[in-house]
Amino acid sequence: MAAKAAAAPVAELTGPLAGLKEKFGEAVKPGDFEGVVINHDRLVEVATYIRDELGYDYLTSVTGVDYLAQNEMEVVYHVLNTRAGGAPLVFKARTPRENAVVPSLITVWPGADFQEREAWDLLGIKFEGHPYLKRILMWEGFSGHPLRKDWKEAYYEQDVKPFDSRWPGGHHRRAEDRVPYADNVNFPADFDPTVYTAQADAAVYERFKNYEVDERGQFVPKEAVKDENGNGKFQEYLETDELVVNLGPQHPSTHGVFRMVVALDGEKIMHLEPVMGYLHRNHEKIGERNTYIQNMPFTDRLDYLSSMSNNFGYALAVEKLMKVTPPERAEYIRVIMAELTRICNHVWAIGFLLNDLGAFFTPALYAIEERELILDLFEAVSGSRMMCNYFRFGGVARDLPVGWLETCRELVFNRLPKKVDELDYFLSENEIIRARCEGSGVLTGDDAVKYSTAGPVLRASGVAYDVRRAEPYSIYERFEFDVAVRNHGDVYDRYLIRLDEVRQSLRILQQALNQIPEKGEIQAGKKQYSARVPAGQAYGRVEGPKGELGFYVVSDGTANPYRYHIRAPSFINLTALGPMSVGQKIADAVIILGSIDIVLGETDR
């Protein structure tokens, strides 16, 4: 793990990395972390070798770090071996800050697509060879790359929190009163809004090569995509029209503020472009200003359906740096919370997939009923239904209240197993569900790995990769459970796998509830308001309900993370949305999206 190495730089490359040095010589250097720095001239070559010869077939995270003092940009890659499991392999490429360029690895791991675009958008790192290097979270035309350390937003006060004083002169001063425009905006000098033409949408439509905007502002095909018989590309027997449809950002089926732009031929999808960022809340920028512990409640708001899992991932990453381990009882409490969260999330996902299928809200009401019962448990321990903010570095915030375990046991042993069977009984064999879901939105196992999908999406395509097994964290190696796998990779399997996972979670919960020590510490060391985190870098990951949720934290030894990046499964899983939907009917795009199960708070961060 990266954290360990940070203190003591590795002089020699060992393990899988030893061969790299031999093969590529000076292009590969050991870093001051457990991993290598690769000269960017040969990055693609070395990456291909890492994929093919070392077996790291899955690119999990790509991000950048801006080292302002060194005048350097660093691109950090974490890759995984889905067959052998184990810790991720870390490698970096470095480039000067001005005109930061590294080659794109999209040809080696197509899953790099969105993450490279994100690094370009937020950090201004150019990825040479990326086919569509446009902003992804902000809009095209926005000025500056906000995650750069020298980029300041309008409400900027100070580099790090806590701010000296929010009460100069003993009274509060509103942010609006401090800034020139009395609002959260900044404009470049000599900017004239009256003559400005927005580029935000034009950049999206650029992807639709065969289309253009005509004089009425309508979106029309440049030349009709038709064969010699005058038929559309997909429809063989029908005369069809091509048109481009926007679904979202306000659309009931997009599960929030997500937008899909689709080019249709009749009803068939010819191209689908996901557009996101409508809920980009600048989590990482704010996170780099917060103290470590202040970030905990912010993680709740990532995947707001499963706040406990998010807490878990972040706590793990920081604990790696601090080298603390929670006491026994706290570990059990954590696992119990994480698995309850998974159940919560999956029943919700099933309910809403059924909504998308047209069974409007009846199954969802049943799903929400169970979720409410679990939320009651969360509220009892943390004081909040959704935003639990319950984990601390080295433990959890409070002990379980009296009677909590009994209520939980009742739910886990008696009620939930029956309710899962009930959902299964009423839904799984339903003729309409099967007719709509079977065979639609197929993602093969190879593609699932290629596009870096994670969680249920990956496992429904026959890849048995689960972080709880591949690199067990916390106390997961103590429990007996199966990694749920399904093999067809269609919407139906992605529905079924969620039922399977709920059942496995119940198994883990039952064991944990039987084994949890009656009494004990819940926090290693003293409770602290500010965590002392040694310099270094760590990547903490958990198997969240949506897939691998990773936190990449770089500490410079101060009270605030220097870099704080989230590998969001909802975001990266969307890479596969386009390929899965092309050739399907437009109505199926809705259920394919539903079967990926995204939460916008996490997608856009």
Instruction: Name residues contacting another protein, limited to 224-263 (CB under 8 A).
Output: 249-252, 256-257
Q: Which is nearer to another protein, 134 or 478 (CB)?
A: 134
Q: Which is nearer to another protein, 180 or 230 (CB)?
A: 180
Structure tokens at 328: 């026994």
Q: How many helices (H) and strands (E) does the chain have?
A: 22, 17
Contact 97, 73 (CB under 8 A): yes
Q: Minimal distance in Å, beta carbon 152 to another protein?
A: 9
Of 10, 591, 35, the C-alpha closest to 349 is 591
The residue within the footprint of another protein, chosen from 70, 71, 99, 143 (CB under 8 A), is 143
Q: Which stretch binds another protein (CB under 8 A): 137-145, 333-341, 439-447, 500-508?
A: 137-145
Structure tokens at 173: 């001063």
Q: Which is nearer to another protein, 231 or 295 (CB)?
A: 295
CA distance 290 to 134: 29
Q: Which is nearer to another protein, 11 or 365 (CB)?
A: 365
Q: Minimal distance in Å, beta carbon 311 to another protein?
A: 15
Structure tokens at 590: 């809705």
Q: Minimal distance in Å, beta carbon 149 to another protein?
A: 14
Please give the DSSP secondary-structure letter assigned to residue 66.
E
Q: Looking at residues 327 to 386 of the shown chain, list those that interact with another protein (rule: CB under 8 A).
A: 364-365, 368-369, 372, 385-386
Q: Looking at residues 303 to 332 of the shown chain, list those that interact with another protein (rule: CB under 8 A).
A: 304-305
Q: Which is nearer to another protein, 68 or 175 (CB)?
A: 175
The residue within the footprint of another protein, chosen from 11, 12, 180, 215 (CB under 8 A), is 180
The residue within the footprint of another protein, chosen from 182, 432, 435, 535 (CB under 8 A), is 182
Q: How many residues bind another protein (CB under 8 A)?
A: 71
Q: Which is nearer to another protein, 156 or 446 (CB)?
A: 156
| 154: contact with another protein by CB under 8 A | yes
Q: Enumerate the β-bridge partners of residue 566.
A: 551
Length reported for the chain: 605
Q: Looking at residues 270 to 299 of the shown chain, list those that interact with another protein (rule: CB under 8 A).
A: 277-283, 285-286, 289, 297-298
The residue within the footprint of another protein, chosen from 48, 186, 407, 558 (CB under 8 A), is 186
CA distance 323 to 394: 9
The residue within the footprint of another protein, chosen from 179, 324, 405, 475 (CB under 8 A), is 179
Alpha-carbon torsion 507, 510, 515, 519, what sign?
Answer: positive
The residue within the footprint of another protein, chosen from 7, 9, 156, 527 (CB under 8 A), is 156
DSSP strand pairing (126-128 vs 72-80): unpaired
| 177: contact with another protein by CB under 8 A | yes
Q: Minimal distance in Å, beta carbon 272 to another protein?
A: 20
| 213: contact with another protein by CB under 8 A | no
Q: Which is nearer to another protein, 22 or 177 (CB)?
A: 177
Q: Which stretch binds another protein (CB under 8 A): 104-112, 140-148, 437-445, 461-469?
A: 140-148
Q: Minimal distance in Å, beta carbon 533 to another protein?
A: 22
The residue within the footprint of another protein, chosen from 77, 139, 292, 552 (CB under 8 A), is 139
Of 294, 363, 374, the C-alpha closest to 341 is 374
Q: Name every residue whose Cβ is closer than 8 Å to that of residue 82 and which is 6 or more positions away in sequence.
A: 57, 58, 449, 463, 465, 470
Q: Looking at residues 13 to 42 of the shown chain, list those that interact with another protein (rule: CB under 8 A).
A: none
Tell me phi and psi for residue 232, to 5 degrees: -65, 175
Q: Minimal distance in Å, beta carbon 580 to another protein?
A: 24
First to last CA, the chain: 25
Q: Name every residue whose Cβ is closer than 8 Å to that of residue 562 and which is 6 or more positions away in sequence.
A: 65, 288, 554, 555, 556
Q: Which is nearer to another protein, 173 or 209 (CB)?
A: 173
Q: Which stretch binds another protein (CB under 8 A): 96-104, 180-188, 399-407, 444-452?
A: 180-188
Structure tokens at 393: 């570095």
Of 481, 480, 441, the C-alpha closest to 461 is 441
Tell me phi and psi for residue 351, to 5 degrees: -55, -40
Q: Name every residue whose Cβ is closer than 8 Å to that of residue 413 and which is 6 or more positions away in sequence.
A: 510, 513
State the helix-helix crossing angle for 416-427 and 362-382, rounded to 10 degrees: 160
Q: Name every residue whose Cβ is closer than 8 Å to that of residue 103 and which is 6 or more positions away in sequence.
A: 40, 43, 44, 127, 128, 129
The residue within the footprint of another protein, chosen from 9, 68, 166, 187 (CB under 8 A), is 187
Please give the DSSP secondary-structure letter assigned to residue 226.
B
Contact 448, 456 (CB under 8 A): no
The residue within the footprint of another protein, chosen from 301, 398, 478, 585 (CB under 8 A), is 301
Q: Looking at residues 521 to 550 of the shown chain, list those that interact with another protein (rule: CB under 8 A).
A: none
Q: Minimal distance in Å, beta carbon 416 to another protein?
A: 17
Q: Which stretch binds another protein (CB under 8 A): 9-17, 151-159, 512-520, 533-541?
A: 151-159
Of 399, 394, 379, the C-alpha closest to 308 is 379
Contact 31, 44 (CB under 8 A): no
Q: Which is nearer to another protein, 249 or 579 (CB)?
A: 249
Structure tokens at 344: 């919560």
Q: Minimal distance in Å, beta carbon 363 to another protein?
A: 12
Q: Which is nearer to another protein, 132 or 196 (CB)?
A: 196
Q: Which is nearer to another protein, 252 or 583 (CB)?
A: 252
The residue within the footprint of another protein, chosen from 108, 138, 270, 315 (CB under 8 A), is 138
Q: Which stretch binds another protein (CB under 8 A): 30-38, 41-49, 139-147, 228-236?
A: 139-147
| 424: contact with another protein by CB under 8 A | no
Local structure of 150: helix, strand or coil = coil
Q: What is the DSSP string of 228-296?
A: TTS-BSS-SSS---EEEEEE-SS-GGGSSS-EEEEEEETTEEEEEEEE--TT---HHHHHTTS-TTTHH
Q: Which stretch binds another protein (CB under 8 A): 124-132, 192-200, 215-223, 540-548?
A: 192-200
| 387: contact with another protein by CB under 8 A | yes
Local structure of 565: helix, strand or coil = strand
| 447: contact with another protein by CB under 8 A | no
| 478: contact with another protein by CB under 8 A | no
Amino acid at 153: E
Q: Which is nearer to another protein, 17 or 138 (CB)?
A: 138
